[in-house]
Amino acid sequence: METNTQELTDLIVRRSSWISTLKIEISKVVVGQQALISRLILSLLCKGHVLLEGVPGLAKTLSVKTLAGAMHANFSRVQFTPDLLPADLVGTMIYNPELHQFSPKKGPIFANLVLADEINRAPAKVQSALLEAMQERQVTLGETSYTLPNPFLVLATQNPIEQEGTYQLPEAQLDRFLFKVVVDYPSRDEELQVLTLMGRTGPVPTTHPVVEAQDIEASRELVDKIFIDPAVQHYIVDLVRTTRTPEKVDRSLSGMVRAGASPRATINIALASKALAFTHQRAYVTPQDVKDLAHDILRHRILLSYEAEAANVTADDVIDRILSKVPVP
């Protein structure tokens, strides 16, 4: 077993070299935001999707465009607006009068990386069309289903401050996202670097493709082989189950949660933990991997009560308390 683990570790070290290359390429354009970049890479390894939340100007869109520019992949950006229609996203059937038949016109969702900018500005029918494609990884036009490219990754952004004229994603649809990453302001040193890099009218730095789709696919095969000890599996299940009845471990959380995380969260924590272990060039998952990912995977899956909102208790506060109370193996 030890030999197999060592062989797998050596293979992981070789196959994961593209990650450091990708990060170096992205850093030519994006300053800081290491947590965000890390989650984008994990989502590629897990076939997951990411919801980015933060005020305007924090490089959410830039990070996604830079990631696409550093890969040999197709990229499309859709600016979500209140008048957007599902056909504007997934495509439609166009009638050809010469041939007397309909032919498909594929929409911008047929790309490897799709940026859904300000997703909460579009009405529910457009959000549903996007989220259905995310889940099924295919789109039906007319009577024919078309498979979406591989890799296929949706990165959606939303502004948490401006709520007027927006359509908030229902909890059932939020559950489709692997991560919800809260993007914060840069540090003072990072902001100085941004000023130096971008504070000019000349050409801004750009990236060049350094990663092939085959690199990602080969890495996914190794991620599946990474070992999760049964004790860590029990820990993941205990964490997720505690989000549904947090008062059992902390009485101060009584009445704070209306609904906890679904079993999809359990699956996603396990998958993302293995991917995180891969990026750290390990052949096994540790409890710390689980703790590092807990906030980004659980924060959008915990539905708070009115009492929690009145007491200014956030989903991250609930997760902090649960992590401090559930025994670590």
pLDDT for res 165: 55
Per residue in 78-102, pLDDT (tens digit) is 888 888 888 888 888 888 887 778 8
Q: pLDDT at position 292, please?
A: 93
Q: What is the mean pLDDT of residues 93-119?
A: 85
Q: What is the structure's pLDDT at 2?
A: 44
Q: Give dist(CA 229, CA 233) in Å, integer.
A: 6
pLDDT the model gives residue 3: 42
Task: Please write down the HEC assignment for all residues of 275-324.
Answer: HHHHHCCCCECCHHHHHHHHHHHHCCCCEECHHHHHCCCCHHHHHHHHHH
Give the model's pLDDT for residue 162. 59
Q: Which residues contact 324 (CB under 8 A, 6 or more apart)?
A: none
Q: Are strands 50-53 and 75-79 parallel, antiparallel or unpaired?
A: unpaired
Average pLDDT in the 279-296 region? 93
| pLDDT for 234 | 94
Query: What confidence category does residue 231 fall into, taking pLDDT thresholds of 50, 70 and 90?
Result: very high
In this structure, are residues 299 and 180 in contact, taking their beta carbons and an 8 Å threshold? Answer: yes
How high is the pLDDT of residue 170?
A: 73
- Asked whether the CA dihedral 240, 243, 246, 252 is positive or negative, the reply is positive
Task: Give the pLDDT mean for 245-267.
Answer: 87
pLDDT tens sequence across 21-60: 888 888 888 877 788 888 989 998 998 899 988 777 777 7
- Residue 117: left (phi > 0), alpha (psi -120 to 50), or beta? beta
pLDDT for position 166: 62
Of the candidates 186, 160, 164, 172, which has an alpha carbon nearest to the alpha carbon of residue 314? 160
Percent of the chain with pLDDT over 70: 96
CB 50 within 8 A of CB 67: no
Q: What is the pLDDT of residue 229?
A: 92
In the chain, where does DSSP find H-type helix?
2-15, 17-26, 34-46, 60-69, 86-90, 124-136, 171-174, 188-198, 213-225, 230-244, 263-279, 287-298, 306-310, 315-325
- Express each pLDDT in 152-205 by its tens digit: 888 888 877 655 556 677 777 788 889 998 888 878 887 888 787 777 776 777
CATH number of 226-325: 1.10.8.80
Confidence band of 271 (pLDDT split at 50, 70, 90):
very high
CATH architecture of 19-198+210-214: 3-Layer(aba) Sandwich (3.40)
Residue 83: CB atoms within 10 Å:
9
Q: Which two tokens stand for residue 250?
A: 């902390």
Is the pLDDT reported for residue 240 higher than 90?
yes
pLDDT value of residue 329: 83
Q: With 0.95 as the threshold, say if the pTM is over it.
A: no
Q: How far apart are CA 306 and CA 80, in angstroms?
A: 30
Exposed/middle/buried for 144, CB within 10 Å: 0-12, 13-18, 19+? Answer: exposed
Q: At what angle do helices 213-225 and 34-46 cross, to 10 degrees?
A: 80
As a whole number, the mean pLDDT across the chain is: 85
- Count of other CB atoms within 10 angstroms of residue 183: 18
- Whole-number pLDDT of residue 167: 64
The CA distance from 295 to 277, in Å, is 17
Q: What are the structural domain ranges in the chain? A: 19-198+210-214, 226-325
SS3 254: coil
